[in-house]
Amino acid sequence: MTPMNGGLRAFATMTAVGYCCAVLAATIVTILTRMLTVATDGFDVLSQFNVLGILLPGLVMTFIAAFPGFLATVSLQRLFRLGRLSFFITAGAADGLLALLLFDLFGRIAVGGSGTVLQPALALCCVAGGAVGGLTYRLVSAWPAAAVEIGP
């Protein structure tokens, strides 16, 4: 087995770090926007949501459900040399919706029922979270390269 060269190691590291940061950002934005949509419906947000109690499960679900879309995004980025922020924001938004659909599908299979978590308000929250996640990934994963280009 040959050791990873420096460029590939740096790419793999920044891709992993970028994905973790994107998942964190997307989950927080999705939770906060969902809290706002519920608050506008007349609920007392603080009594309805335990933010820390839903953050960890949200992180786990997002990490798993958004991974296929993330792999597709990184593959397209590498294949076509796409680097614009708009690509990552759009791909992140699409991945947010895809993650919600996968989560819904896995939920239906797990419980063997026909219930769904798909709601228009939740879908918009996931799209917003995904867009922020895509932006976060691009900013974090591109940071070392930008620092090298700018210099000390």
C-beta of residue 103 within 8 angstroms of C-beta of residue 61? yes
Residue 117 — very low, low, confident or very high, per pLDDT cuts 50/70/90? confident
**Who's near 144: CB < 8 A, 6+ residues apart?**
10, 14
| Nearest in space to 89 (alpha carbons), one of 25, 31, 32 | 25
What is the tens place of the pLDDT at every residue in 56-112? 999 999 999 999 999 999 999 999 998 899 999 999 999 999 999 998 888 777 777
Q: What is the pTM of this model?
A: 0.85
The whole-angstrom separation of Cα 24 and Cα 140 is: 12
What was the pLDDT predicted at 135?
96
What is the tens place of the pLDDT at every residue in 50-59? 667 888 999 9
76 backbone φψ class: left, alpha, beta (φ>0; ψ -120 to 50): alpha
